[in-house]
Structure 1
């Protein structure tokens, strides 16, 4: 039986990956900061997952956990999240999003060099990209502590792959959303507030630049790409993206339209919430993943938005 250790199991991506791997018959070890807290946050159908304490700053603890469970695959989602928090704690971000990956790779090398490793990287490594769409060969140019830490992790992945012959991959993820997305992200904020407006719980939604465009995919599709990466004959790094961009305005229009509402009646632009614009459009070219792995995103933009709004309505109507 294959087994996988997933760090950051209780986050959006960790939960979707756990569901996918359970369907494929894996034994799953959820590596979390606090087991008791994680037990309360895991859905009932995932209670079969084995939880173990995992400290991103403690390499000896990593070695002990890996030695005990001997997973065939390790997926790393544990990290400071992107978005508004990308500048909040530069040292902490560097340690958890960057150095901790080096610790994990070294722990794997010490315990069993045959363990396959997949790192959840980010489009933020491109930062102020000068060309679009971005590919695996696009010049990296991070402009935040978050992006710089992710780039360091990718570099260490490549070094361990080339120097030690380890099976280490980086999945360069573009925006990926779901009903499990945190409320601090604009997509979830839109769907949550739209549902509240529909139910008469609030009256307006204040956002930043409505014309900002993003490459938004479904988190379930994203983790499927990561699984495919570890099933391939050789390790490599891949862009995981839809190749399409949509504006925040389009997201609002689609979300409110699903509820029978006109977003223009309720959404207000707030100039103080504007983020700096990018020199080039941030959109990924996932041709390499499609050709080498046979991966294709299954959930389109409108279906994703509708899925998120429907989940919000179900959740709020229970309150």
Structure 2
């Protein structure tokens, strides 16, 4: 066999750069998602034990005998109404949905204005939107404690202009400050996740053909009607993507409700933290995490189906 034929055979066996590019994302998913998910899934079927780690093994090998013990009581415990897990899940979904809607109401006008700016100014405007994300997430949340507390300059200003009295009369706050209320949680989520809403909306809006609006104006359409009939439907994909990027992590948020929301803000992320680190019940905490992950898969599946229908509609 000649050297050329050997080299040709080895080249066929060696994965090319194309397979390397394709394989890197799958390797990333395997290492940082699939393997941790399987570990958490394994712990969720174990029993609590006074040991380190604090759970019993589900697979025991004794010579030629292999024993697999799956404990379903952790998942059954989640469904018990008296334990409060269902209430925590529902409260997390409710808070995340309201915060996502508020983020959309704030982020859509921002993305729309940035998309209508001159080309030379768009990058600067987007840089200002993304710039706060370059700092630590924890530091940004801590900064809002000083902003929202009653003794701070913003709190005193809101007190003087009557905003605190108005919020209290509406029932949005109980005391004389916004801090440690559900309203503070909404403010924190909107602020921290706003770039994740603006980026997909801007990417969608900047691609719109301006001639469509000009044609609508020439035909006598008012600006608000042209927006509702043309711009808003065309930006549906950006709206869905932005809402997904905000709502999915907001459901499992822990830092914002812990630092800004106070004890009355019940979210599943705080329950998960307490089970892991306060109660040291790793099996139950893992079951909570698995249930939350399965719950978050629902909007992802819906989003994929909507995208698939849009692609099929373009092809037909």
Could you tell me the TM-score, scaled by structure 2's length? 0.23
* Higher fraction of strand: 1
Q: Point out which structure has higher relative CO (alpha carbons under 8 A, 6+ apart).
A: 2
Q: Which has the larger radius of gyration?
A: 2
* Higher fraction of helix: 2
Could you tell me the TM-score, scaled by structure 1's length? 0.23
